[in-house]
Amino acid sequence: MSAPTVQRPAPGRLARLIVTRPAGEAAHWVQALRAQGWPAQALPLIDIGEPSTSEARAALQVWRAKWSHVDALLFVSGAAVSHFFAEGSVARPLAPFNTRFWAPGPGTARLLAQALGALGIAPERIDSPPADAAQFDSEHLWPVVASQVVAGSRILIVRGSSMEAPAAEGPVPGHGRDWLIRQCEALGARVEGCVAYERRPPVFDDADRALMAQATLADSVWLFSSSEALAALRVAQPSASWSAATALVTHPRIAQAARDTGFGRVIESRPSLPDVLRALESECTAP
Q: Where are the domains of the chain?
A: 16-46+204-283, 49-200
Q: How far apart are CA 166 and CA 287, in angstroms?
A: 42
Q: Which secondary-structure segment (H or E) carries 16?
A: strand 16-19
pLDDT for the residue 3: 36
Q: How far apart are CA 233 and CA 134, in angstroms?
A: 28
Q: How far apart are CA 126 and CA 185, in angstroms?
A: 21
Instruction: Dump pLDDT digits (tens) for 97-114.
Output: 899 999 998 889 999 999
Which residues, 6 or more positions from 234, have their beta carbon under 8 angstroms from its beta carbon?
261
Based on DSSP, count helices (H) and strands (E) in the chain, helices before strands. Answer: 10, 11
* CATH code of the region 16-46+204-283: 3.40.50.10090
The model's confidence at residue 169, banded by pLDDT at 50, 70 and 90, is very low
pTM over 0.75: yes
- The reply to whether CATH 3.10.20.740 applies to domain 49-200 is no
The model's confidence at residue 91, banded by pLDDT at 50, 70 and 90, is confident
DSSP character string of 112-176: HHHHHHHTT--GGGEE---TT-S--SHHHHHHHHGGG--TT-EEEEEEEEETT-TGGG-SS--SH
Domains 16-46+204-283 and 49-200 share a fold: yes
